[in-house]
A and B are shown apart, each in its own frame.
Chain A
Amino acid sequence: MNTLMKWTPTKITSLMALALSALTMSLAAPTAQATVYNQLDADSSTVQFHYKQMGVNMRGTFSQYSAQIQYDTEQPQAASVQFDVQVQSVSSGNRDANKELANKLWFNASQYPTAQFTSTNVEVVSDTKLQVTGTLAIKGSEQQLTFPVQVNHNGTQAQFTGELNIKRGDFHVGEGMWSGFDIVGNDIRIAFDAKVNAQ
């Protein structure tokens, strides 16, 4: 009682202010943390692929793609992605090669214009790491894949980076005279860096 009696009106006001601000923070906190990232920023994202040609490390890119992404920071395990790549947009840095890659023996872009990855399961490994499982469909062939994805987000944009290791032969990419792997290797490493904005 004595101690309470000693409280001055100023002290009581500041105590109330403190309580009020704590209340505001506790109310605001869930909405500030639970951010849903679902808008792919295609211009600042990249889809690259790496392969070997006659012992030389080569790099190529796809410049046209779209995605339906859902990543809720409160429910990362419910995250999902469907990523569509326009195979016609392939670039290996060489004009003749680009023309060849769109052809029937490679991507057959006129018949199979899109390569698609659809997630089926997302496992949360840590705050910054997911293990994504899904189906990769290229040129009419499908394959189940699981790969790690690194996640970073800052409230306005989330960044997803990762790599998929595939064999082009599994998807019949490079048929006929290209079906041997001595000139153009079978191992393809796809590296993506997707920037996704909050809604």
Chain B
Amino acid sequence: MTTIAQNIEKQQYTRTAISLHWLMAALFIGMFVLGFYMKNMPFSPKMLQLYSWHKWAGISIFLLVLFRLAWRVSHRAPALPNTMSPTMQFLAHAGHWALYGFMLAVPLTGWLMSSAMGVQTVWFGVAPIPDLIPESESLADFFSMAHLVLNVAFILAIVGHVAAALRHQFIDKDDLFSRLSWRRQKQSIANK
């Protein structure tokens, strides 16, 4: 009984990891929309307000990413199916770590860009986040470009991630998607 349960459990991420995955998917998509929307807004009080909200959310997400990474390295992830070639498995792992890299780099460059522009980030208007770099026009230009380029690359990586998930689900039909599904988790408990 336990061996079967353990085997099924091994096919899935932990509940915490699943929650973090879907929560952060929603948060990042929301931030992409907000970021590109506010960037193209005319200079106005609403724009300044949205920028502040974007920064507060960015710091919150950055902390979530740190927690998520700590969780990821301290909890074993389910193995990829044997039907995948070693090359594909390697690419899948590389892709996942690239996504984690973007999750760190994107908020980090936003934070640095804000400092370089001379606008300290004050989390929710009450908790000042230290400026790691001084106010500088050249640094501000560099980090705003880095923030944009990394976001575009991140979006492309997410598109690739979703495409790969869809391929596994509908072409390979290897049920890889259940690793991140709440429903399957309940079924596995029911199987016990």
Q: Do A and B come from one complex?
A: yes
| Size category of the binding interface on chain B | 10 to 19
From known contacts A93-B135, A96-B43, A100-B43, infer whether A57 and B48 are also in contact, taking CB-CB under 8 Å.
no
Q: Are A54 and B48 in contact (CB under 8 A)?
A: yes
User: CB distance A59 to B45 under 8 Å?
Assistant: no
Q: Is the CB of A180 within 8 A of B118?
A: no
Cβ–Cβ contact B49 & A54, under 8 A: yes
Q: Is the CB of A54 within 8 A of B122?
A: yes
Residues on B with C-beta less than 8 A from A96 are 43
Number of interface residues of A (CB under 8 A): 19
* Among B48, B49, B51, B119: residue with most chain A CB under 10 A: B119
CB contact under 8 A between A94 and B45, given known A54-B122, A55-B125, A56-B122? no
B187 part of interface (Cβ distance < 8 Å): no
- Contact indicator B118/A178 (Cβ below 8 Å): no
Main secondary structure of the interface of B (DSSP, over half): loop
Known: A54-B122, A55-B122, A100-B43. A93 touches B48 (CB 8 A): no
B126 close to A (CB within 8 Å): yes
Closest to B136 in A: A93
Distance between Cα atoms of A96 and B119 in the complex (Å): 14
A53 & B48 in contact (Cβ 8 Å cutoff): yes
Q: How far is the CB of A187 from chain B (nearest CB, A)?
A: 16
> Which B residues from 93 to 140 make CB contacts under 8 A with A?
117-122, 125-126, 135
- Residues of A8-33 whose CB lies within 8 A of B: none
Given A54-B52, A93-B135, A184-B119 contact (CB < 8 Å): no
Partner-B contacts on A (CB < 8 A): 53-59, 93-94, 96-97, 99-100, 177-178, 180, 182-184
